[in-house]
């Protein structure tokens, strides 16, 4: 009878089945890139992707004496979308001081509980901005959730390598880093990753442009909100396919109507 | 009636009344010293003491552009005893890989609960060894408790700046860093700090030498054990005074007996 006690787990205790990737957007200091790789190795992470690095920074980081295996197998990609396209979950990080954001920031220590409630599966990315500027609002619009490290008001901004160390420590502390990468089995609910959602987004933008919904002044902010909305809907791949077909149909209808109008005005 | 709910706190929720000091023993890299100061500022700590730094390392760290206020007010002292003499609690840090230690290591995440059980007050030091060697057994013998950051077996050793960031994050996370240094009020139980215990230790060593208890081969290891024993007894200042008086009496008695013997042998 006692053996069963181990099988009956509370929802809080379900193991998290996530394959973590650390994504650095345009880091400026090769030493920081090396420090990030070291922290990842310390806490059992392997997958490092660097977005649009300055070429000398990237070369210096990779050729550093004693560079971690993590760094040797790290990839550089030109855009954030390429870094997170296959991810089911994208987590943005931001300094505690930024107040202009129009959504809540989760304190890092509350993030494991959030994860256990959501039970995401598959690949997940933890995003860190460049040392000077952090993540832009454009970058943040790719994120499902934002976390902040609760730093002191007088000195809120952390060193990049230390920020990654603290975040990976918190994940390891919560048992959210598997000792080996989990097999990426297809989940029954089949949630959509970032890439198909981005296709959907592009299609929606074309439609909104055709109907003249996007005004030049607010266009950028509106697009960021739209992308975030798409993430927050937690669409499955089937949802994404259906919505994509609906949008394609609307595009076709709009083109036809424009055509009809053109004929009428002739 | 409801107001009382805030006053009835469980022992787990008692605020920790500790004034933290970070102590670095002989750090080798000025950049690491700077990173330590940055992490301290990030999590609201102010008091940095460096033991026996290499002079060029210390000068370079202090003169770094953008050095934190923490670094500007940091002190260098020649010995560990001078760094922790006024502390009521000394916490040693060590990599997860070290197995030869003859006592348990507390995982860092369990340390806040340990603190709340013990309810220490006053000044507390968190010790970090040099990048290459960590803390020696001699240094560890000054510690009341040892903690380790649970790192991966394949890459257990952390960068110094990142290790300090993770430890200070864990303390801040647990609410163990007061927003301003607490007033150092005298606790009723009046526990002895490291300095009077060290005097007691020195006196005990003299007595043990006089009675020939310390053998040259095991002397060093025995002294480390004795110092640790003294810490673990959790003596009050009164205990320390009484024991000191007892040892002084024994010393006097031994000197007299030796004197009598000397006379007898004449």
Per-residue pLDDT averaged across A77-89, rounded? Answer: 94
In chain A, residues with a C-beta closer than 8 Å to the C-beta of B162 are 35, 38-39, 42, 161-162, 165
What pLDDT, on a 0 to 100 scale, did the predictor assign at position B265?
Answer: 44
Q: What is the mean pLDDT of chain A?
A: 82
**Residue B174's closest chain A neighbor by CA?**
A109
pLDDT class of B212 with cuts at 50, 70, 90: confident
* CB nearest to B35's CB, from A41, A150, A159: A159
ipTM of the complex model: 0.73
What pLDDT, on a 0 to 100 scale, did the predictor assign at position A259?
Answer: 58
Residue A204 above 90 pLDDT? Answer: no
pLDDT class of A51 with cuts at 50, 70, 90: very high
pTM equals 0.75
Residue A108 above 70 pLDDT? Answer: yes
What pLDDT, on a 0 to 100 scale, did the predictor assign at position B14?
Answer: 58
Please state, for a pLDDT cut of 90, what percent of chain A lies above it. 38
Q: Are A130 and A26 in contact (CB under 8 A)?
A: yes
Give pLDDT tens digits for B232-261.
777 888 888 888 888 888 888 887 766 555
In chain A, residues with a C-beta closer than 8 Å to the C-beta of B158 are 38-39, 42, 165
Does A109 lie at the interface with B, CB-CB under 8 angstroms? yes
Please state, for a pLDDT cut of 90, what percent of chain B lies above it. 38
Per-residue pLDDT averaged across A16-25, rounded? Answer: 90
Residue that wins the pLDDT comparison between B29 and B63: B29
Token pair 């081969």: residue: B217
Per-residue pLDDT averaged across A77-104, rounded? Answer: 82
Which range is least confidently modeled, A69-73, A254-258, B215-219? A254-258
What pLDDT, on a 0 to 100 scale, did the predictor assign at position B35?
Answer: 94
User: What whole-number distance in Å separates Cα of residue A219 and Cα of residue B203?
Assistant: 78
What pLDDT, on a 0 to 100 scale, did the predictor assign at position A102?
Answer: 63
User: What whole-number distance in Å separates Cα of residue B48 and Cα of residue B67?
Assistant: 13
Which structural domains are found in chain A, ordered by start?
Answer: 14-173 (3.40.1280.10), 194-265 (1.10.8)
Collapsed DSSP state (helix, strand, coil) of residue A248? helix
Give pLDDT tens digits for B146-156.
999 988 888 88
What pLDDT, on a 0 to 100 scale, did the predictor assign at position A12?
Answer: 45
Residue B13 above 60 pLDDT? Answer: no
What pLDDT, on a 0 to 100 scale, did the predictor assign at position B104?
Answer: 67
Q: Is B133 exposed, middle or buried (0-12, 13-18, 19+ CB in 10 A)?
A: exposed
Per-residue pLDDT averaged across B74-94, rounded? Answer: 94
pLDDT class of A77 with cuts at 50, 70, 90: very high
User: What whole-number distance in Å separates Cα of residue B21 and Cα of residue B75?
Assistant: 11
Which range is least confidently modeled, A49-58, A81-90, B65-74, B200-209? B65-74
DSSP percent split of chain A into helix, strand, coil, nearest 5: 45, 15, 40
Token pair for A124: 């997940």
pLDDT class of A234 with cuts at 50, 70, 90: confident
Closest chain B C-alpha to A151 CA, distance in angstroms = 5
Q: In what order do the strands lie in the sheet with B47-51?
A: B75-77, B47-51, B18-25, B122-128, B89-93, B145-148, B106-107
In chain B, residues with a C-beta closer than 8 Å to the C-beta of A157 are 42
- Give me the residues of B, 167-186, that contact A with CB < 8 A: 169-170, 172-173
**Residue A70's closest chain B neighbor by CA?**
B155
Residue B184 above 60 pLDDT? Answer: no
What DSSP assignment string belongs to B31-67? HHHHHHHHHHHHTT--EEEEES--HHHHHHHHT-TT-
In chain B, residues with a C-beta closer than 8 Å to the C-beta of A68 are 155
Give pLDDT tens digits for B91-148.
999 875 555 566 668 999 999 999 988 888 889 999 999 988 899 988 988 998 999 9
- CB-CB under 8 Å, A38 with B151: no
- Of the candidates B148, B107, B142, B138, the one whose C-alpha atom is nearest the C-alpha of residue B125 is B142
């Amino acid at each position: 009878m006692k053996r069963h006690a181990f099988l009956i787990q509370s929802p809080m205790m379900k193991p998290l089945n996530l394959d973590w990737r650390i994504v650095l957007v345009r880091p400026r200091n090769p030493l920081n890139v090396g420090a990030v790789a070291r922290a990842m190795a310390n806490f059992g992470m392997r997958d490092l992707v660097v977005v649009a690095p300055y070429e000398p920074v990237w070369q210096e980081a990779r050729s550093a004496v004693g560079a971690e295996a993590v760094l040797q197998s790290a990839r550089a990609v030109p855009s954030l979308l390429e870094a997170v396209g296959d991810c089911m979950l994208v987590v943005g990080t931001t300094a505690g001081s930024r107040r202009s954001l129009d959504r809540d920031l989760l304190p890092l220590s509350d993030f494991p509980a959030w994860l256990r409630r959501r039970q995401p599966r598959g690949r997940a990315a933890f995003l860190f901005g460049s040392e000077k500027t952090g993540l832009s609002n454009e970058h943040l619009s790719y994120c499902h959730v934002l976390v902040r490290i609760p730093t002191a008001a007088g000195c809120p901004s952390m060193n990049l390598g230390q920020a990654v160390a603290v975040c990976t420590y918190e994940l390891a502390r919560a048992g959210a880093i598997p000792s080996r990468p989990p097999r990426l089995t297809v989940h029954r609910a089949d949630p959509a990753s970032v890439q198909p959602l981005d296709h959907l987004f592009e299609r929606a933008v074309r439609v909104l442009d055709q109907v003249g919904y996007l005004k030049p002044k607010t266009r950028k902010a509106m697009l960021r909100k739209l992308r975030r909305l798409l993430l927050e809907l937690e669409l499955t791949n089937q949802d994404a396919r259906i919505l994509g077909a609906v949008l394609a149909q609307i595009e076709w209808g709009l083109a036809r109507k424009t055509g009809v109008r053109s004929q009428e005005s002739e």
